[in-house]
Amino acid sequence: MTRPLPPLARQGHFCFLSDIPPLLRYTKSVAFAIHQKRVKIPLLMLFVGLFVGLFFAAQLQAEPTRITNPALPKESLAEMQTGLLTEQEELRAKQRVLQQEISDLEKSGKLSGKLTASLTSNLEAAKTSAGLTEIDGRGVEVVLSDARGQATAERLITAADLRDVIATLAESRPIALAIGNERLAETSSIDAVGDTILVNNTRMLPPFRIFALGDAVAMRGKLANPEKLQNLHHRQSSVGIQFDVFERSSLTIPAYTGSLYPKYLAPEVVR
């Protein structure tokens, strides 16, 4: 609201001395009014624009009223994993007990009394070749572990790395293989779910120790060959993953603890 003009100025008269202050005040108030009008509208447009922009953005990413893709929270899944791992331990313990009972039955007087010496020998040899007995001998130990520092694809040891090492060791026809405490039988698999490595469906953590019974010199030579396991050798020098091979004069490879009772396979010949 502008101040009214001084009386004489309204009439178009200008009184030099006494009218100056009111004139000045009038000019100031008019200028202020004009300024206010010039600022008010843009400010108004600014706030309206911001509001409209917020409104559109909110509408665009509005959450539906119903959950369309419910997923268990991470905590529940982690708890479930703990429960499953506990169950796995209990099942494996039960498996070991049963294997031991079967072994004890085989060696017991009741059964062995019914078996000839050659039959007993055949049974032991068949169990050994299948991986159902603990076995000692010379061989190599291969240690693989993640590189230090921030976890990246290059720095982590993967299930594929373990499979490649096993395949390289196999070129020297080892007698027995194991990863950690898990004996590898012909039905064993080395898998991964995310960063978790599973051998015989048992979770493995680094450092991964691979044991191979057999010609230690030949196996060590294959593993050291830069043309084999190129990716592992490259990552060993570039990012520092651990890839060490040790010759061992005495290794003990544990027995396979799973069941080797074939469900689908039938031997072609039974003596």
Partner 1 sequence: MKHYTAVFIVATLLAFLTVMQYRTAEASRAGADRTDAGLLAAADAHLYRGNRKLSADIASLEQQRAEMAQIANSSGTAESAVNTIVANFEALSGQSAASGPGIQLIAYRRLEQSELIDILNVLRGLGAEALAVNGERISLTAPLDASQFGDTITIEAIGQAQTLADGLKTKGGIIDQLRRGSPAEPTLTEAATLTVPALQTIPGQRELN
Interface positions, 98-157, toward partner 1 (CB under 8 A) = 98-99, 101-102, 105-106, 108, 110-111, 114-116, 119, 122-123, 126-127, 129-132, 135-139
Residue 66 or 75: the one with the smaller Cβ distance to partner 1 is 75
Residue with tokens 């893709």: 69
Is residue 265 at the binding interface for partner 1, with CB under 8 A as the rule? Answer: yes
Interaction residues for partner 1, span 32-91 (CB under 8 A): 41-42, 45-54, 56-58, 60-61, 71-74, 77-78, 80-81, 84-85, 87-88, 91
Residue 11 or 116: the one with the smaller Cβ distance to partner 1 is 116
Per residue in 56-65, is it b (16+ CB within 10 Å) or e — as a string? eeeeeeeeee
Residue of 171, 174, 180, 186 whose CA lies nearest to 199: 180
Structure tokens at 170: 């196999």
Is residue 24 at the binding interface for partner 1, with CB under 8 A as the rule? Answer: no
Shortest distance in whole angstroms from residue 29 CB to partner 1 = 24
Stretch that binds partner 1, among 14-22, 144-152, 201-209, 234-242 (CB under 8 A): 201-209
Q: Decide: 111 and 181 in contact? Cβ < 8 Å.
A: no
Q: Cα 207 to chain center, whole Å?
A: 15
Residue with tokens 């020098």: 237
- Number of residues interacting with partner 1: please give it, by CB under 8 A: 106
Question: Looking at 179, 210, 213, 245, which residue binds partner 1 (CB under 8 A)?
Answer: 213
The conformation of residue 4, written as its DSSP 8-state character, comes to P
Structure tokens at 9: 């100025």
Q: Which residues pair with 253 in a beta bridge?
A: 135
Is residue 216 at the binding interface for partner 1, with CB under 8 A as the rule? Answer: yes
The conformation of residue 247, written as its DSSP 8-state character, comes to E
Q: Cα 153 to chain center, whole Å?
A: 10
- Cβ count near 204 (within 10 Å): 21
Q: Which residues pair with 262 in a beta bridge?
A: none
Question: Looking at 5, 9, 175, 232, which residue binds partner 1 (CB under 8 A)?
Answer: 175
Question: Looking at 179, 190, 204, 241, which residue binds partner 1 (CB under 8 A)?
Answer: 190
Is residue 246 at the binding interface for partner 1, with CB under 8 A as the rule? Answer: no
Is residue 232 at the binding interface for partner 1, with CB under 8 A as the rule? Answer: no
Residue 33 or 85: the one with the smaller Cβ distance to partner 1 is 85
Amino acid symbol at 205 = L
Question: Looking at 160, 207, 224, 238, which residue binds partner 1 (CB under 8 A)?
Answer: 160
